[in-house]
Structure 1
Amino acid sequence: MNVLLNKWYKNHALIYKILLFLLTTLFIVYLFPKTGKFRYSFEKGKPWQSENLYAPFNFAIKKSQEEIENEQIDIRKTSPVFFEVDPAIKDVVLNDYLTAFNRTFADSIYISTQNTSLYKSGRSLIDRLFDNGVLDTEYSFNKDRPVNLVFDNQIQKELVFNDLFQIGSLRPTIEIHFGSDISVNDKNRMISLFFDIIKPNVSLNNILTDKTLEEELLKVSLTRGSIEKDQLIISKGQVVEEEQFAVLDSLKSEYESQVWNTANYNWVLVAYTLLVALALLMLLLFLRKYRLEVFLNNTKVTFIFFNIVLMIFLTTLVINYNSQYIYIVPLCILPLVLKAFFDARLGLFAHVLTVLLLGFIVPNSYEYMFLQIIAGIVTILTVSELYKRANLFISVGQITFIYIIAYFAFFVIHEGQVANLKWETFGLFILCGLATLFVQPLIYIYEKIFGLVSDVSLLELSDTNTKLLKELSNRAPGTFHHSLNVANLAEASANEIGANAMLVRVGALYHDIGKMNNPTFYTENQSNGINPHEELSNKESAGIIIDHVIQGIEIAKKNNLPDRVIDFIRTHHGTSLVYYFYMKEKSINEEDVNIEDFSYPGPKPFSKETAILMMCDSVEAASKSLKEPTSTKINDFVENIVTKQMESGQFLNANITFKEIQSIKKVLKHKLANIYHLRIEYPE
């Protein structure tokens, strides 16, 4: 059991990476579409570029959304409307008519004769009005709309809406009915009488009407016609007309839905898993081969995987909502963030892999992938010194411009014209550019969550008014001045060979903070002529000098300095000797000298930046011993120091070339010549 636990403990970092790899793969596959992917791409009005296409199985031709909507509109216009009829109201109206007629014409000749022509004419009008029914309110139905009259929950009469009588047309109906057969005064009396007695007996039955409409809408067929297996759908080079487009679109939908039964779907999942795993494996292999420091740090690997998953997740959300807004996702944030925390090559590599994975789920995948890869390359090439806000705005503007140019080119290729150019897509690119500016606060958030450091934080650390640097300047002013000189030399050297100038400057400012504990043991801080080393043995003196590295690391961690800065403290002396005390001890006791007692513990520099600091630190410190410096002396001085470091193998672990070392030596010679330049002696 103990053996097993020991193995787990020794390999816990590798086990974590395997679990992270598997979980990330499964989550990305979960986000992918749960169907197969149609292998052909096509557009209406464009030639069919693939081989002759035959139907692989029987399938129905789908109606377009426009066709379905038109049918639904027709059904809404022609679906029957149901009205409830109250037959008792007519009897009430007839009784009211008799009473009202006798009262209205009490002073006329009609009162004594209810069987007169006027009374009978009014009675016939009431029969006509209530023959189909009088509506209770105004309705906006079409006059030819079918109507069913319901008596006691049973349909007893079918007619059209125009057959029903509306109260609003009562006056003209009465005037037409009586015409010129009676006097104007009698006609007005009859109009007033009818307005008093006529009551509606027909009202809309909403429940039955809506139910019938819903049933009719459900009967709308979503297909029209069918295609038989092995039937030719389209030939190579044939233009995709509207009919062929409908057939191809139907085949695509059928292929991505019904074709994938449970067995096939499982195979699709396996295939997706293999491809996603392959892409993520390439990323891990890249880190293992070219970014070993990142690979060994589980936090950094998690950070990279998290950003890839985040971009895929956001893109999936947008596609599920509306794929037309796909270009609003600021995918270029990914290379920006990775470049800010790591380097450009890693940022571009991860960006390309992410775009390849998104190619499985986005429409027009080739166009999307081309645009995003080009934008990612532009991001890497243009964004430098992200801590300068102007640089970010300029780069985002360039990225947006590249998006617009590339999209315009694709549109012209597909359409052959610019008349139907979708200007709203350009607006999406602009919104994408504005969203990309969110990278600044996002970097700050990532620094707090993952404990990483970017150039933005390095800029803050480079301020000499920070608490730690002010303490260094107060307690060890000579060391502080030395650190400033080294920082200037290192920054100039880094700019010369394209290294991270901000990182090496910050590393130089903090590399000797361990000397704060015993400042008087270092010559740059000895201002009173007293040297405490005179009271110590050579071995003790060497131990104190060597300890400033360990003490510097402790101070840095206590003040929460980033690991990238602490690396400079660890490596700025590598495994070199405290040469002065070693030679002094050797002169006293030549045979019994343990070289390890006079050697720094290391490690050796493992990057261009840490190698630059070692060279600049050694040259600047030793330059104080130059007497009557000349150009020749400075050249030989720099050559000797750097050559000695190379011969002792201090740069073997750093990815720095001989050519770059030569360039750094030129910068150091030039800078020292400027510092120690000779002036003309002016007469007193």
Structure 2
Amino acid sequence: MNYIFSKLQDNYYSILKIILFIVAIVAVIWVSPKANMFKYEFSIGTPWNHTDLIAPFDFSIYKTNKQIEEEKEQIIDNFKPYFKYDLQKTEESKAQLNKDFDDAWLANYNNKKDLKRKKYKRILNKILDKVENAGVIQHNSVLEGKDKGSIIRLIKGNQVEEVRLESFYDIRTANEYLFKEIDKLDIDDSTLFKNLLSHSLVQNVFYDEAVSKADMDQLMGKILPTHGLVQKGELIISAGELVNSDKYQILSSLKREYEKEIGTSESKIFIVGGLSLLIVLMFLIEFFYFRIYLSEKYESLKNIVLVLLSQVLLITIADFVFYNYPDFAYVIPYAILPIIVTAFIGSRFAIISHVITILILGFFAPNSFEFFYTQFTAGFIAIFAVKKLDKRADIFRASIYVFVTYMLVYLSMLFVQEGSLDNFSFTFMEYIAGSSILLLLSFPIIFLYEKVFGIITHLSLLELSNTNNPLLMELSQKAPGTFQHSLLVANLASDVLHEIGGDALLARTGAMYHDVGKMNNPLYFIENQGLGGNPHDDLTYEESARIIIGHVLDGIEMARKAGLPEQIIDFIRTHHGTRRVEYFFRLEKRLNPGVEVDKSEFTYHGPAPFSKETAVVMMADSVEAASKSIKQPTEQNINDLVDNIIDDHLANNQFHNANITMKDITIARKVLKKKLLSINHVRIAYPE
């Protein structure tokens, strides 16, 4: 029993990863559709590569989206909008004319010529009545593009009649008619009468949006989704027969109806069992691929959780859309998964996780082959676009690349299947455009994942490595010598990692912060002392060692207060590993010969570096600092310095926990020697 518990304890993380995969498998099976799956694959323009297909039951033939859209467009084109005749406006117009006429007559004739007043008033009312009774229509956007012969529906009271647009006046034509009628009278007061009529004229026919919309909705609602029936036992398609557009629609309708059928409880058990086996196989492939070929990344539990969580979420959303809104299957941003995984873990991890996810979704997606091919291609393009992801524009570029890829794949399939662009779908273009735009959700998701999983991306590293960062600004002001040293270490570490492979940006950023703890006591570190005295002269060797060692703990505290991620803090805590402050240790031994010196007082608390990046920063930090003590920086002196320091690191097991090989260390020696020789070159003496 103890042996079993011991094995469980030793393999705790391995067991936990297996449990995570099992949880992911169960979750995917749970959210996946449990309906029958149509076993035939088909596409337009290709032969039917199966036996003769007989209708297993009666089913309706569904219209294509294009057919439904055409019917809708036909309804819109032939629709007669509703306008309402406003009787109240007409009465107000008449009242206004009579009032204005009486006022004008009184002002001009002082109630003289009473007989003429009544005559002209009657004439003006008659002219205005003809216009207002016919209707003065208000201009509306629904009338744009319609000619005078177009028909609208006019609501007058409780009656609705169809009237041609030419029967109505607008303000311009109404005024033209009024003025023409006044000119026929050949009277002296024609200008006055024209002004009176024009002032009284009002629009009294208005577009009735509510009634028009209700009627339009009713007509749209009458559009049937089907247009025909296939009876049970009827031959649908023969073996080898070409799948044309009509056959394709019948087959699609059969597939749609077939997958709605739940079947018996026994068949459902087989469906769920088969589905479960397929999903288990997919995740087993992913598990062993991670474990065998990506073992370094697989070691991180966070990486496994991040990938599996992202896969389960995407599959859940996609399955919901497939089952409830199949027409919108291509709106989902499937390429967001490889973008996110590439940003956090790497492109190789992203490739396999994307392929497995698309394969699983291909079981349920409409037109499985087309779906898989399209998403497979788009996902790879997205990975190439964000392989480094060292600036935010990369995600915008990925979004554009994915959209172009979608278009090219769609057009190529359209040419193969149709042989023309007759069935080109702008609706599909809208779907893939929406999917490409939704890829920009990578920004907030990456930010959220960084907070949740404590993993940083290159985007965050670039922001942290900016020398305008508050903590680096403070370091440059309080400890300028340390700041310059940190920049040199960052460059050295980055150069080494570019040669041996590794995250150069992570090492560069970590190196810039590795000595921030020196800000608390900057003058106790030689690079900040200048030409002044050495404050260590007033301290015991133990006190000096305590201050030197303390900069690591101080740096960790400062970094945490500044909100730096743990990956950066790792460089602070490991850059001296578990080595001794050798200078003060030897002075203490010399001061107290024969006395056992407490080594713990002169030893850094560690830990030793535990990654390739932290190991390289330790090397770069040590050799850069030591190179300042060389009085004659010849090539031989620098080579000896680098070799001695790295040999000392190896002798003290500082790289024992880091995934760095002897070959890597040999290359690191060469790079550091070359760079230090370049940094410390001797300048020629200028003449006085």
Partners of 2:610 and 2:409 in 1: how far apart? 41
In the TM superposition, residue 442 of structure 1 has moved relative to its aligned partner by 3.1
The residue aligned with 1:502 is 505
In the TM superposition, residue 312 of structure 1 has moved relative to its aligned partner by 2.0
1:161-180 aligned at under 5 Å gives the runs none
The residue aligned with 1:159 is none
The residue aligned with 2:233 is 227
1:529 aligns with one of 527, 533, 550: 533
| Secondary structure in structure 1 of the residue aligned to 2:232 | strand
Instruction: Note the alpha carbon deviations across 1:585-623, whole angstroms, 9 max, x for none.
Output: 666668956766654443333333222212211121111
2:676 aligns with one of 672, 675, 683: 672
- Structure 2: which amino acid aligns with 1:642? I
1:80-479 aligned at under 5 Å gives the runs 223-227=229-233, 236-240=239-243, 252=255, 255-258=258-261, 260-280=263-283, 283=286, 301-320=304-323, 322-422=325-425, 424-479=427-482
Instruction: Note the alpha carbon deviations across 1:537-568, whole angstroms, 9 max, x for none.
Output: 46x65454334333322332233210111111
Contact kept, 8 Å, 1:359 with 1:365, in 2: the verdict is: yes
The residue aligned with 2:493 is 490
1:603-618 aligned at under 5 Å gives the runs 603-618=607-622
Number of aligned positions between the proteins: 533
1:574 aligns with one of 574, 577, 580: 577
Q: Cα–Cα, structure 1 residues 44 and 297, in superposed 2: closer, same or farther, change >3 Å?
A: closer
Q: What stretches of structure 2 of length at least 5 have no aligned partner? A: 72-157, 163-222
TM-score in terms of structure 1 length = 0.66
- Structure 2: which amino acid aligns with 1:35? A
- Structure 2: which amino acid aligns with 1:403? Y
Contact kept, 8 Å, 2:28 with 2:315, in 1: the verdict is: yes
Partners of 2:661 and 2:411 in 1: how far apart? 43
The residue aligned with 1:120 is none
The residue aligned with 1:62 is 59
- Most deviating of 241-250 and 390-399: 241-250
Partners of 1:465 and 1:385 in 2: how far apart? 23
The residue aligned with 1:557 is 560
Contact kept, 8 Å, 1:549 with 1:570, in 2: the verdict is: yes
| Secondary structure in structure 2 of the residue aligned to 1:438 | helix
Contact kept, 8 Å, 1:61 with 1:246, in 2: the verdict is: no
Q: What stretches of structure 1 of length at least 5 have no aligned partner? A: 74-135, 141-216
Contact kept, 8 Å, 2:61 with 2:250, in 1: the verdict is: no
1:39-50 aligned at under 5 Å gives the runs 39-50=39-50
In the TM superposition, residue 340 of structure 1 has moved relative to its aligned partner by 2.1
| Secondary structure in structure 1 of the residue aligned to 2:456 | coil
The residue aligned with 1:96 is none
The residue aligned with 2:93 is none
Partners of 2:290 and 2:610 in 1: how far apart? 16
Partners of 1:36 and 1:598 in 2: how far apart? 72
Partners of 2:249 and 2:285 in 1: how far apart? 40
- Structure 1: which amino acid aligns with 2:493? A
Instruction: Note the alpha carbon deviations across 1:516-539, whole angstroms, 9 max, x for none.
Output: 34444433233433252774246x
Q: Cα–Cα, structure 1 residues 508 and 402, in superposed 2: closer, same or farther, change >3 Å?
A: same
Q: Cα–Cα, structure 1 residues 641 and 259, in superposed 2: closer, same or farther, change >3 Å?
A: same
Instruction: Note the alpha carbon deviations across 1:258-310, whole angstroms, 9 max, x for none.
Output: 47322221332233334434544555566666777876766654433332233
Contact kept, 8 Å, 2:581 with 2:603, in 1: the verdict is: yes
Q: Cα–Cα, structure 1 residues 351 and 654, in superposed 2: closer, same or farther, change >3 Å?
A: farther
Partners of 2:292 and 2:46 in 1: how far apart? 46
TM-score in terms of structure 2 length = 0.66
Identical positions, percent: 40
Q: Cα–Cα, structure 1 residues 622 and 388, in superposed 2: closer, same or farther, change >3 Å?
A: same
The residue aligned with 2:27 is 27
Q: Cα–Cα, structure 1 residues 271 and 592, in superposed 2: closer, same or farther, change >3 Å?
A: farther
Partners of 1:661 and 1:375 in 2: how far apart? 39
Contact kept, 8 Å, 2:494 with 2:505, in 1: the verdict is: yes
Partners of 2:446 and 2:478 in 1: how far apart? 34
- Structure 2: which amino acid aligns with 1:30? W
Q: Cα–Cα, structure 1 residues 590 and 309, in superposed 2: closer, same or farther, change >3 Å?
A: farther
Partners of 1:676 and 1:66 in 2: how far apart? 78
- Structure 1: which amino acid aligns with 2:43? E
Q: Cα–Cα, structure 1 residues 424 and 667, in superposed 2: closer, same or farther, change >3 Å?
A: farther
Partners of 1:242 and 1:457 in 2: how far apart? 51
- Structure 1: which amino acid aligns with 2:367? N
Partners of 2:290 and 2:633 in 1: how far apart? 47
Q: Cα–Cα, structure 1 residues 586 and 290, in superposed 2: closer, same or farther, change >3 Å?
A: farther
Contact kept, 8 Å, 2:62 with 2:253, in 1: the verdict is: no
Partners of 2:62 and 2:373 in 1: how far apart? 31
Partners of 1:644 and 1:554 in 2: how far apart? 29
The residue aligned with 1:147 is none
Partners of 1:395 and 1:222 in 2: how far apart? 44
Q: Does 1:626 align with 2:623?
A: no
Question: Considering only CA atoms, is the larger Rg found in Structure 1 or Structure 2?
Answer: 1
- Structure 1: which amino acid aligns with 2:684? I
- Structure 2: which amino acid aligns with 1:620? E
- Structure 2: which amino acid aligns with 1:226? K
Contact kept, 8 Å, 1:284 with 1:295, in 2: the verdict is: no
Contact kept, 8 Å, 1:63 with 1:246, in 2: the verdict is: no
In the TM superposition, residue 349 of structure 1 has moved relative to its aligned partner by 2.8
Q: Cα–Cα, structure 1 residues 253 and 461, in superposed 2: closer, same or farther, change >3 Å?
A: closer
Q: Cα–Cα, structure 1 residues 252 and 375, in superposed 2: closer, same or farther, change >3 Å?
A: closer
Contact kept, 8 Å, 1:504 with 1:609, in 2: the verdict is: yes
Contact kept, 8 Å, 1:520 with 1:532, in 2: the verdict is: no
In the TM superposition, residue 507 of structure 1 has moved relative to its aligned partner by 0.5
Partners of 2:254 and 2:319 in 1: how far apart? 24
In the TM superposition, residue 377 of structure 1 has moved relative to its aligned partner by 2.5
| Secondary structure in structure 2 of the residue aligned to 1:46 | coil
Contact kept, 8 Å, 1:61 with 1:223, in 2: the verdict is: yes
Q: Cα–Cα, structure 1 residues 292 and 679, in superposed 2: closer, same or farther, change >3 Å?
A: same
Partners of 1:286 and 1:573 in 2: how far apart? 36
Q: Cα–Cα, structure 1 residues 661 and 293, in superposed 2: closer, same or farther, change >3 Å?
A: closer
Instruction: Note the alpha carbon deviations across 1:620-668, whole angstroms, 9 max, x for none.
Output: 1111111121233333433443344345443444344555545544443
In the TM superposition, residue 35 of structure 1 has moved relative to its aligned partner by 0.7
Partners of 2:244 and 2:493 in 1: how far apart? 67
1:681 aligns with one of 668, 681, 685: 685
Q: Cα–Cα, structure 1 residues 480 and 35, in superposed 2: closer, same or farther, change >3 Å?
A: same
| Secondary structure in structure 2 of the residue aligned to 1:308 | helix
Q: Cα–Cα, structure 1 residues 584 and 266, in superposed 2: closer, same or farther, change >3 Å?
A: farther
- Most deviating of 337-346 and 12-21: 12-21
